[in-house]
């Protein structure tokens, strides 16, 4: 394609946010230039809103798709605009079937205003939230949830292995993905909800077609938007399956890969 994108969607962690460190000035400058040129910017992430403060502090613009597509969030006003949650019935049924498919599994559930976990689910990031934990996560399932999360605490299975088993067990009931191949961890959304489907909705509202969108991502929770966008780049240091869904490969996120590609794309005519 020979024209500048009208919309940029990027994952955060492992894509523009280093696993250890801050977003580089080069990356901030590239996105700022895009915004000033009239390009729509979406930060599409698995993060819940409470983890978005650093993004709000770094960028003075942009919209946020949080919780792997389950939420549209206004960064500047700290406001949840729309949600697509997993029904209580679907949560309970998915947990029931997953306990059979992966006996060593434990669960957590979150929405925009809560995070609950089972005592066996060790929270790596939400330390301090729900410190006591539930005996069974079903006791906390009282309203639609943005994400159901599952973990093998002793790392008996990889995230990819868990995703395969879970998709076979409940793939017709919920959407299964993950954002870290190095942990035994799944992220589960309502059926049909993903970064890609929500991005498509947002682009449609703006009158922008897939061919005019570019996306960047590093893990399976990004694959839907990499596949949907007319231009897309899997990170060179991301999940090895990324290139199956993306149209291209960006240099490693530790080498400012997204900024390198954006600098080239922004030189194209509108």
What Cα–Cα distance (Å) separates residue 138 from each residue in 98, 160, 195? 13, 25, 26
pLDDT at 114: 87
pLDDT at 127: 61
Q: Record the tokens describing residue 93, joined without a space.
A: 């049924």
pLDDT at 155: 86
pLDDT at 128: 61
Side-chain-side CA neighbours of residue 219 (13 Å):
25
Angle, CA of 20, 25 and 31, to the nearest 5°? 105
Alpha carbons 141 and 126: distance in angstroms, whole number? 18
Sites in the chain below the pLDDT cut of 70? 1, 127-128
| pTM attached to this predicted model | 0.96
Alpha carbons 270 and 258: distance in angstroms, whole number? 19
Per residue in 113-131, is it b (16+ CB within 10 Å) or e — as a string?
eebbbbebbebeebeeebe
- Domain 7-84+194-265, CATH: 3.40.50.1000
Q: Which CATH architecture has domain 88-190?
A: 2-Layer Sandwich (3.30)
pLDDT at 19: 83
Domain spans in the chain, listed from the N-terminal domain onward: 7-84+194-265, 88-190
Element (DSSP H or E) covering residue 38: none
pLDDT at 1: 67
């Amino acid at each position: 394609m020979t024209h500048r994108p009208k919309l940029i969607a990027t994952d955060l962690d492992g894509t523009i946010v280093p696993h250890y460190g801050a977003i580089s000035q080069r990356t901030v400058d590239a996105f700022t230039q895009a915004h000033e040129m009239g390009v729509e910017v979406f930060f599409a992430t698995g993060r819940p809103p409470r983890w978005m403060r650093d993004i709000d502090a770094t960028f003075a613009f942009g919209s946020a798709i949080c919780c792997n597509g389950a939420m549209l969030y206004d960064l500047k006003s700290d406001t949840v605009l729309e949600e697509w949650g997993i029904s209580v019935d679907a949560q309970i049924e998915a947990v029931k079937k997953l306990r059979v498919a992966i006996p060593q599994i434990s669960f957590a559930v979150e929405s925009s205003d809560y995070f609950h976990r089972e005592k066996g689910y060790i929270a790596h990031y939400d330390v301090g939230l729900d410190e006591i934990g539930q005996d069974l996560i079903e006791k906390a399932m009282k309203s639609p949830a943005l994400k159901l999360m599952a973990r093998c605490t002793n790392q008996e299975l990889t995230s990819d292995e868990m995703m395969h088993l879970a998709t076979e067990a409940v793939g017709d009931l919920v959407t299964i993905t993950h954002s870290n191949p190095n942990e035994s961890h799944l992220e589960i959304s309502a059926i049909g909800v993903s970064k890609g489907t929500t991005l498509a909705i947002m682009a449609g509202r703006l009158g922008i077609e897939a061919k005019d969108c570019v996306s960047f991502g590093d893990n399976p929770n990004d694959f839907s938007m990499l596949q949907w966008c007319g231009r897309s780049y899997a990170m060179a240091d991301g999940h090895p399956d990324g290139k199956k869904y993306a149209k291209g490969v960006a240099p490693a996120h530790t080498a400012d890969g997204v900024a390198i590609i954006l600098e080239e794309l922004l030189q194209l005519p509108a």
